[in-house]
Amino acid sequence: MPIRTTQLDITNDGSVKDAVQAIFSETGRIDVLVNNTGYVLAGAFEDLAMDEIKAQFETNVFGLIRTTQAVLPIMRKQKSGTIVNISSGAGRFGYPGQSAYISTKFAVEGLSESISYELEPFGIRVVLVEPGVIRTNIVNAMVVANKSQDPNSPYLQKTQRMAKVLENMMENGSSPDLVANIVLNAITDKSPKLRYLAGRDVEAWLDSRRNMSDEEFFKSMKRTLMS
């Protein structure tokens, strides 16, 4: 079956509504929504401007909310549908240098888990996919906070260190095919789980998180990312 595309801007209410209506008018139903749009705002928290943080949330959280609310009336009337939200291991634990991005993923986690209770009676399933480091263009599309690029920033050295660590992680990251296959399995499963991990790295991190105290995990992440 050929793939048809419809352009939309997830930061614009009218654009999202028009796109969803166009798809529904052509097909008569919407069975799956995969919320996969997002980017990373990098920089120490003190260096982040409020406008930069708002833009991060506008795309990563409010964009997801717009598309989800737009399809829900359709899915609810047809009494079926699957909503897949691409979260991140960063939605389960924090680390330095990307506090705004991590905050958006924590928001996606809480939102998804909460609405799963509300939508289950209507036959609508909610799925969270939590990738680790995946070899995509997310690093190339990363937005670095303006103040973080200032040579006078007290966080400059740590920010640069984190950038190098991330580059090394990307070289050993998992293939995007891993995430795609997990999404496919989730939407074709009659009884999907709420959460799916994607990547051995995120599996290892969360295993450590479960088995360590907060203090132990903090020290471990500090050694890995900031030493």
Question: Domains along the chain?
Answer: 31-67+76-226 (3.40.50.720)
Say how many CA atoms lie within 13 Å of 204 toward its Cβ: 7
Catalytic (active site) residue 105: yes
CA distance 219 to 215: 6
Give per-residue pLDDT as tens, 156-180: 988 888 888 888 888 888 999 999 9
Give 26: exposed, middle or buried? Use CB within 10 Å, 0-12, 13-18, 19+.
exposed
Out of 95, 101, 155, 196, the active site residue is 101
Catalytic (active site) residue 213: no
Catalytic (active site) residue 39: no
Q: What is the CA radius of gyration of the chain?
A: 19
Out of 88, 103, 105, 148, the active site residue is 105
Torsional class of 3: left (φ above 0), alpha (ψ -120 to 50), beta (otherwise): beta
Give per-residue pLDDT as tens, 99-152: 999 999 999 999 999 999 999 999 999 999 999 999 988 878 889 999 999 999
